[in-house]
Amino acid sequence: MGALAYNEELFLNAFVTEGRFYLHPELLKPLIANEEFAEKILENLYKYGAEININAKHLKAQFKEAVANGFAFDRQLLPHLFESLLNPWKRDSLGFFAWWIQLMQPTRAELLASQQTLFALLTLGNARLTNFAMPYIAEIADEADFDRNGFVSNFPLHFTLEKVAKAQLLGVKLLKPQTSDLKPHLTAKELAVLLIQPDEKLQVAVAELLVEFYGDEGLSEIVQPYELYLKSKAKAVFSEKSTVKSEKRTAHPNGISNEQNSFSNKEQSVGNGAQPLWGKEVAAPQTSDPTPQTWNNLLFLIGDCLREKSPETVEVFLEGLLRLQGELPADYAKQLKPYLQQLDKFFSMSVLHFLRCFCKAWTEESYKLSPTSKSYEITLLPLWEKGRLMLNRLQDKCALPLLSTPTYKPFWVSAEALADKLLAYEAAGIHPNISDLIVACNRLLFREVSKEVKEKVERLRGGMQRRCGTISV
């Protein structure tokens, strides 16, 4: 009778869940010294770490002793260990792999190769992983190949996280040496969120950066919501620069301040309770178009998609990809990998399941985006249709915008944005997708349409003008 064929999944699952080697450490020592065992078992252990928390304590002791006796893990294992931290595993499992990385003492070159994964760890809302990743990021921040924009884009995603003040202070210090390219990727309003953290050293560092780099660009209004959180030293920084002023407010008869009442009126003026996406008007594309303008901003938006799980955010991501398709970095698939790993856990009928399928179809030629073979909610069918349209556009290298991408929360499309897009289609001599046009017309925000927008609609020719007549009503 021949030998049994090796089944990696069967053996390793049993190894991490049912093994009794921790009761008899003398049994594991000769195995670790075996080259074939190290290659087939230890170097593939990261794939089956979900239940390793059972044996984490004992494995640490065995690994530490093996390294002390001269055993060396394959250095090519490090990227996989970093990526394993993106999995939704239990605390002890994640802690074991973080410890394993520290045991191997990664070099600067190895850290640079995994920097996108380190950035992604900041977006998971996990204090232990944030505290683990930030010192490594700081270690390579002065390297020429360090992706500064990638760091700045991901850094704000953990600003409200607790028990990470030291890591956040380290990150703020990394922002200071080269602030010339900071403003396009991190606004004063985003940075000011850190002022809610009670650590005084962190507050002072944030205040100094706000005052030094952002000057007096409306800092009084930006900082005012956080005044109750400010420690005395942080207040002193703002006071010295006269950026935080104690202003008296006149109370409204209903107990609402004039400033609050003014904001409420502005909100109502938009119409139907709709607010510009991200609180910004889209009428001025050069300053407030919500569509990502850079590759790093597009990656940042994937993080938004993961947190918000909303169709409109995913649609803005699709629009951004369409716009930036000619500017993607050569290693875009590699940079996407940490985000795709986070999406891999979404197999249910959800928005993120669609995003996962779309990204796989975009980056893998063999993968087809077909909702007929996937589970999906009927309400998400238009999103799947838009995904297929997007893939065709990418294949044809067509950068014309999608008509139905929301410009106002939760899904409204402004009349001016739609008119501008239709004029772009006419100028290119291309007919828009009829389904995309129907969705856009149904999403139109009904409010008073300006004379300029009506004139744009009148410039449309033939059937296009008839289809969009509701804009000029």
Dihedral sign for Cα 339, 118, 323, 276, please: positive
Same domain assignment for residues 71 and 32? yes
Same domain assignment for residues 331 and 430? no
For residue 257, the SS3 value is strand
Is residue 26 a part of any domain in this protein?
yes
Mind listing the pLDDT tens digit for each residue in 166-176? Answer: 999 999 999 87
Dihedral sign for Cα 103, 107, 109, 114, please: positive
Mind listing the pLDDT tens digit for each residue in 250-262? Answer: 334 333 333 333 3
pLDDT at 181: 61
Same domain assignment for residues 281 and 412? yes
Same domain assignment for residues 303 and 278? no
pLDDT at 35: 74
Same domain assignment for residues 428 and 280? yes
Is residue 472 a part of any domain in this protein?
yes
The set of residues, in sequence order, having a beta carbon less than 8 Å from that of 94 and lying 6+ positions away, is 85, 87, 126, 128, 129
Instruction: Kindly tell me if the per-residue pLDDT of 293 is higher than 90.
Output: no
Same domain assignment for residues 430 and 443? yes
Rg (CA), the chain: 27
Highest mean pLDDT among 328-342, 384-398, 436-450: 384-398
| Confidence grade of residue 17 (pLDDT, cut at 50, 70, 90) | low
Same domain assignment for residues 347 and 445? no
Is residue 34 a part of any domain in this protein?
yes
Q: Which domain holds residue 432?
A: 274-285+407-473
Same domain assignment for residues 97 and 57? yes
Single residue among 59, 84, 105 that ends a domain in this structure? 105
Instruction: Kindly tell me if the per-residue pLDDT of 234 is higher than 80.
Output: yes
Dihedral sign for Cα 103, 104, 108, 110, please: negative
Single residue among 74, 105, 136 that ends a domain in this structure? 105
Q: What is the C-alpha separation between 352 and 286, in angstroms, rounded? A: 30
Query: Region 194-215: what's the mean pLDDT?
Result: 89
Mind listing the pLDDT tens digit for each residue in 132-163? Answer: 999 999 999 999 999 988 898 889 888 888 88
The set of residues, in sequence order, having a beta carbon less than 8 Å from that of 265 and lying 6+ positions away, is none
Return the structure tokens found at 26. 């003398």
Same domain assignment for residues 427 and 351? no
pLDDT at 139: 96
Is residue 117 a part of any domain in this protein?
no
Look over the chain and give the mean of its residue pLDDT values, rounded to a whole number.
77
Same domain assignment for residues 393 and 295? yes
Is residue 141 a part of any domain in this protein?
no
Is residue 255 a part of any domain in this protein?
no
Is residue 259 a part of any domain in this protein?
no
Mind listing the pLDDT tens digit for each residue in 207-222? Answer: 999 988 777 667 888 8
Query: Region 362-382: what's the mean pLDDT?
Result: 67
Over pLDDT 70: what percentage of the chain? Answer: 75
Please give the full DSSP string across 81-121, using - where no structure is assigned.
HHHHTTS---HHHHHHHHHHHHHH---HHHHHHTHHHHHHH
Instruction: Kindly tell me if the per-residue pLDDT of 358 is higher than 80.
Output: yes
| Domain tally, the chain | 3
Single residue among 39, 72, 105 that ends a domain in this structure? 105
Mind listing the pLDDT tens digit for each residue in 40-75? Answer: 777 788 887 777 766 778 788 888 888 888 888 889
Highest mean pLDDT among 10-19, 34-43, 136-145, 386-395: 136-145
Same domain assignment for residues 394 and 368? yes
Is residue 198 a part of any domain in this protein?
no
Q: What is the C-alpha separation between 134 and 155, in angstroms, rounded? A: 10
Mind listing the pLDDT tens digit for each residue in 391-431? Answer: 988 988 888 888 888 877 667 888 888 888 888 888 888 88
Same domain assignment for residues 415 and 342? no
- In 3D space, the residue among 262, 298, 284 whose CA is nearest the CA of residue 414 turns out to be 284
